[in-house]
Structure 1
Amino acid sequence: MSSDGSDASRMLGARIRDERQRLALNQMDLAELADLHFTNLGKIERGQANPTLHTIVRIAAALNLNPAELVDGLSADQLPQRSHGVTAADLIRAREAAARADPA
């Protein structure tokens, strides 16, 4: 696992850390409540880990948050570069254009 996380990972981690601190919990407390190892929680908070959906939901539940609050506003632009920039909308438009050009 790389120590160079994405902007999205860092933002998620900061949101978790901020809420944990607002509740006056330490990492060990939150990790126990979320059924995680505290070192894993530390990596998540520093943006060095890419937590699974299950982990995000467990952390949110322990913080009494809707998981959407932790990921709201995060976008693909905050992730490492993809091998291509094509989206589903791009693919659909290309297929529709090809169908119009060749109505066979």
Structure 2
Amino acid sequence: MNPTVSEAARLLGSRIRGERLRFAISQMELAELSAVHFTNLGRIERGQANPSLHTIIRIAGALNLDPSVLVAGLAPDLVPVPAHRVTVADLIRAREAQDGTAS
């Protein structure tokens, strides 16, 4: 069995699966409605795929949801940390230090 991509992917997949089951439709039916291959939808629901923005929007549309419902609360700490992590605050501090404008 393939491991999940991240906790964020697992949560997204769980939300999609929950909505699909709420409507009592199969993966095949949701896949057809959202123009996503059914094997990819299965991988997404299990958290084993990292769907593109377009795929998330198509799935949400097929479920009559705003895509924000599927991604609400998903935060950076739920995805793997890159080897090199810099935030916009770090960038601004570095620029200010370089310019000599640091407070």
Question: What TM-score does the superposition give when structure 2 sets the normalisation length?
Answer: 0.90
**Unmatched 5+ stretches in structure 2:** none
Separation in 1 of the partners of 2:27 and 2:77?
29
Contact 2:6–2:79 (8 Å) recurs in 1: yes
The residue number in structure 1 matching 2:98 is 98
Q: Is the 8 A contact 2:4 2:49 kept in 1?
A: no
User: Aligned runs of 1:11-22 on 2, under 5 Å?
Assistant: 11-22=11-22
The Cα shift of 1:89 comes to 1.4
CA deviation map 1:48-90 (0-9, x unaligned) = 0000111000000000000111111111111112112320111
Deviation at 1:101, TM superposition (A): 5.6
- Count of residues paired in the alignment: 101
Question: Which sits farther off after the overlay, 79-88 or 51-60?
Answer: 79-88
- Aligned-pair identity (%): 61
Equivalent residue number for residue 30 of structure 2: 30
Q: CA deviation at 1:37?
A: 1.2
TM-score between the two structures when normalised by the length of structure 1: 0.89
Q: Which runs of 4+ in 1 moved over 4 A?
A: none
Match runs of 1:74-85 below 5 Å:
74-85=74-85
Superposed counterparts of 1:64-79, under 5 Å: 64-79=64-79
Alignment correspondent of 2:55: 55
Q: Gaps spanning 5+ residues in structure 1: where?
A: none
